[in-house]
Structure 1
Amino acid sequence: MTIRVVLLCILFAACKESGKPSLTLKSSEEVLITPKVLMSTNPAHIRFVESDSGQYLFFINHISRNPQFIDFESGELVKEIIHHNDGPNSMRNRTGVGLLEGDSIWVTFSPSSIGCVNFSSEVIFKRVIDNSPIPLTYLASDFHQSLYRHQNKIFGMQPSFMSHHAMDKKDIRNHPLVYSYDVELDLVKWYDVYYPDDYWDQGKKISNFSWARRENKLYISPWYHHEIQVFDMDSESVVDRVIVKSENINRFNYVNNPPGSNEEALLARIGSDQYGILLYDKYRDCFYRFYNPGYSDENAYSIEVLWKFRRSRPVTGLMVLDKDLNVLGEYVFEKFQIHAGSNMFVGKKGLYLSLNNENSPDFNEETLRYLVVQFNKPE
């Protein structure tokens, strides 16, 4: 691993509505890791593991499709968990990895199910997620749409509308967003958690959200709405709703009718604003809410380039929120500076952000590159 320390003094623009003083970026360092396995430099499923024995990256290798651990210092493969496609321990139709717990991994499957597999590649159990008010066509998980264990329950999310174009506004209430599975009682439960009542007031926004955990609460952060809902896992109810608006997010994508082509759909997605991943920083007791302002210019791009713009959005911003979801400040990174669609995590040193934006001239398929940052809190 190569580390380059860069001392910075960049002022973060404080949110005008909050009246908070500006934040400063305390310092940053750039970390370069050369993996000794063939892998994506922006894994979709990733966890940063800090333990007494060292630091590791846990991810799903997009080539072997197996979970792997690599050493964060050397890039050496430490462990691979083989996921079989046949036999009694088949992991066929896996749709995501949502929770790393001890020596086990919780995963989601299609048809809509969750299960648990140990590090010996043995499927401990698999359970259909049923009792939904509407038939589920897909259930998934990944690092920003995690599964969370609280006591004897595994909590999961279902962010997607099952039939966007056939729905009316009133049908949003038929799409609960949160479920749990009780591992002791073998019971699935859905909760009265929905997108906000005004979600489709201006038109049909598509559906997606990220969430993060702090103590016994889950913070539900829609990609196409300013409000964050706080779900208490003890009372199993929404206990707070907070408008957390970025100054740079003002124009969402509305899909009232099916797009006429892939190009039309991509241009609409890239050219509109959206929120992104929500992360909780347990070391500094704050949240990071990412967002992507819309991007357009006078150039004409091929479909291949437009897909890269969608995977690695050209412009990324960041909101820093305190534990009560008050906005402490915002910052917009340089164009093509970071990849914020995946491959970010929190560690003792700070927030790790991938520098491998696919559109950057510095994009490197051979190395993992991270910018590690911390923020000065206002006095």
Structure 2
Amino acid sequence: MLIFTNNLSENRNVFIIFLLLFYSCQGEAENKLLEVIKVKELKIKPEVLTIPNPPYVHLIESDSGQYLFYLNPNSKSLQFMNMEDGKVANEIILEYDGPNSMSRRSGIAGLENDKVWTTFRPHAIAYFNYKAEIQFKKDIPSGEVDITYVGSSFQKGLHQYGDKVFGMQPLFMNHHGMNKDDIQKHSLVYSYDMVSDQTKWYDVYYAKDYWDSGKKLSNFSWVRREDKLYIAPWYDHEIQVFDMQKEQVTIKVEAKSDHINSFYYVNEIPGTHEEGLLNILNNDLYGIILYDKYRDCFYRFFYPGFTDDEEYAIDKLWMLRNSRPFTGVMVLDKDLNIIGEHIFDKFQVHASSNVFVGEEGLYLSLNNENSPDYDEDHLRYMVVQFEVGE
């Protein structure tokens, strides 16, 4: 049994000892089942009204307290909210005209010291200060395939390493007009050198067998650990590790959940929006990957397919897509060995956004849009750690 305690150094030692014992006796068995240790629940009423699952959430832990950074769509600003009392400690008011306009913003790509990274349509990267003044902006030229869009989020962020800024392009530009061989032309990773003013696309692609069984969709989340980026596709089991210093993929690991067995193949355009949404819900997919620096492990979320006999209106289908009925999480060690996995109760958590890691554990939103406990007035979190069941 593995238990994460409140002593961080003790956690690390226990964790390593457990892994040595665990993998020395592990054969071809299925993934271990993880049990949840609930550290605490939080219910926060924001001083300034926001949505229950705000985008671009980032936890800041300091000597002065815990602060949640997020985009408030209601006020069109980025806010730093004190998690103790819900008050806004700082606010970045975004402008939508003039030289600092955010009207063509395609995502918030990361928070770094006193600047906020962002992306712009059609394909530019930038950062601005806490006064919302754009300090840097650069168009990203296409590689072998013409790109029409570059987006971002905190799970699809920009990462600076030395003089270079690394970004991603996870989407196929012409899904229905391309063939299997074209996959190896769609580079997933680029960098911009802020000294030489040069952009470089890398030989990083989805797996060569990505379309062997049909035309899977394209998307991935990535996360940074030290000088490496961990690329976790939504529609494939394989995680690739990109070394920013060597500027190449150094490791590929099959990290399969026991519950992910049927991906959505889009060989032709669905006849209706309802059909497309049902196909997404009926099939499995992976989601966000997070790195836990306190326990030196990774969390890879996944969503088993969901079917029932009830007919849903399109608005309800969108809600089910945004807050999947069933959510699971795999825990992997720093070498991407699977420690185990856990599936939460139906509608228990919302994990397609608004999930993050803190010193006490993994923060999960309890505001699943389809739950009877969904609360539009509060931010609600469950902080968890995991142990391997006997």
Q: Same fold (TM over 0.5)?
A: yes
Aligned-pair distance for 1:18? 5.4
Kept in 2, the 8 Å contact 1:317–1:331? The answer is yes
Kept in 2, the 8 Å contact 1:274–1:291? The answer is yes
Q: Distance in 2 between matches of 1:130 and 1:301?
A: 43
The partner residue of 2:284 within 262, 270, 273 is 273
Paired AA for residue 262 in structure 2:
R
Alignment of 1:133 with 2:130, yes or no, is no
Q: Which moved more, 1:186-195 or 1:24-33?
A: 24-33
Relative to structure 1, the CA distance from residue 299 to residue 227 in structure 2 (aligned partners, 3 Å threshold; closer, same or farther) is same
The partner residue of 1:68 within 59, 63, 79 is 79
Aligned-pair distance for 1:154? 1.3
CA displacement, residues 156-203 of structure 1 (integer Å, 9 cap, x when unaligned): 111000011001011111210011111222221111100000000000
Could you say which structure has the higher helix fraction? Answer: 2
Task: Specify the alignment match of 2:50 in structure 1.
Answer: 39
Alignment of 1:358 with 2:338, yes or no, is no
The partner residue of 1:112 within 114, 123, 144 is 123
Task: Specify the alignment match of 2:97 in structure 1.
Answer: 86
Task: Specify the alignment match of 2:10 in structure 1.
Answer: none
Kept in 1, the 8 Å contact 2:31–2:341? The answer is no
Aligned-pair distance for 1:377? 6.1
Q: Distance in 1 between matches of 2:33 and 2:368?
A: 27
Kept in 2, the 8 Å contact 1:148–1:156? The answer is yes
Q: What's the TM-score once normalised by structure 2's chain length?
A: 0.91
Kept in 2, the 8 Å contact 1:160–1:208? The answer is yes
Query: What pairs up with 1:135-284 in 2 under 5 angstroms?
Result: 135-284=146-295
Q: Which moved more, 1:36-45 or 1:289-298?
A: 36-45
Relative to structure 1, the CA distance from residue 225 to residue 19 in structure 2 (aligned partners, 3 Å threshold; closer, same or farther) is closer
Aligned-pair distance for 1:44? 2.0
Q: Which moved more, 1:129-138 or 1:365-374?
A: 129-138
Q: Which moved more, 1:87-96 or 1:15-24?
A: 15-24
Task: Specify the alignment match of 2:134 in structure 1.
Answer: 123
The partner residue of 1:58 within 57, 65, 69 is 69
Q: Which moved more, 1:130-139 or 1:230-239?
A: 130-139
SS, match of residue 279 in structure 2? helix
Q: Distance in 2 between matches of 1:65 and 1:177?
A: 30
Aligned-pair distance for 1:126? 0.9
Q: Distance in 2 between matches of 1:58 and 1:268?
A: 34
Relative to structure 1, the CA distance from residue 20 to residue 223 in structure 2 (aligned partners, 3 Å threshold; closer, same or farther) is closer
Q: Distance in 1 between matches of 2:310 and 2:296?
A: 42
CA displacement, residues 209-235 of structure 1 (integer Å, 9 cap, x when unaligned): 011111111110000000000100000
CA displacement, residues 30-69 of structure 1 (integer Å, 9 cap, x when unaligned): 1111111111111121100112222111111112332111
Paired AA for residue 335 in structure 1:
K
Q: Distance in 1 between matches of 2:91 and 2:256?
A: 41
Kept in 2, the 8 Å contact 1:211–1:220? The answer is yes
Q: Distance in 2 between matches of 1:199 and 1:120?
A: 44
CA displacement, residues 94-133 of structure 1 (integer Å, 9 cap, x when unaligned): 0101111111111000020001100112111210011421
Paired AA for residue 283 in structure 2:
S
Q: Distance in 2 between matches of 1:250 and 1:135?
A: 32
Q: Distance in 1 between matches of 2:36 and 2:347?
A: 19
Paired AA for residue 151 in structure 1:
G
Q: Distance in 1 between matches of 2:331 and 2:136?
A: 39
Q: What's the TM-score once normalised by structure 1's chain length?
A: 0.93
CA displacement, residues 302-349 of structure 1 (integer Å, 9 cap, x when unaligned): 111100000000000111101111111111100000001100000000
Task: Specify the alignment match of 1:336 in structure 2.
Answer: 347
- Indicate the RMSD between aligned Cα atoms, in angstroms: 1.7
Q: Distance in 2 between matches of 1:353 and 1:338?
A: 6
Aligned-pair distance for 1:23? 4.0
Q: Distance in 2 between matches of 1:378 and 1:296?
A: 29
Aligned-pair distance for 1:21? 5.8
Relative to structure 1, the CA distance from residue 274 to residue 308 in structure 2 (aligned partners, 3 Å threshold; closer, same or farther) is same
Relative to structure 1, the CA distance from residue 23 to residue 361 in structure 2 (aligned partners, 3 Å threshold; closer, same or farther) is closer
Paired AA for residue 188 in structure 2:
L
Q: Distance in 2 between matches of 1:136 and 1:61?
A: 29
- Count the aligned residue pairs: 366
Q: Distance in 2 between matches of 1:337 and 1:16?
A: 32
Kept in 2, the 8 Å contact 1:18–1:327? The answer is no
Aligned-pair distance for 1:376? 3.1
Q: Distance in 2 between matches of 1:24 and 1:310?
A: 26
SS, match of residue 340 in structure 1? coil
Kept in 2, the 8 Å contact 1:337–1:360? The answer is yes
SS, match of residue 80 in structure 2? strand
Kept in 2, the 8 Å contact 1:131–1:189? The answer is no
Q: Which moved more, 1:99-108 or 1:81-90?
A: 81-90
Task: Specify the alignment match of 1:11 in structure 2.
Answer: none
Paired AA for residue 218 in structure 2:
S
Tell me the percent identity.
Answer: 55
Aligned-pair distance for 1:298? 1.1
Q: Distance in 2 between matches of 1:309 and 1:154?
A: 35
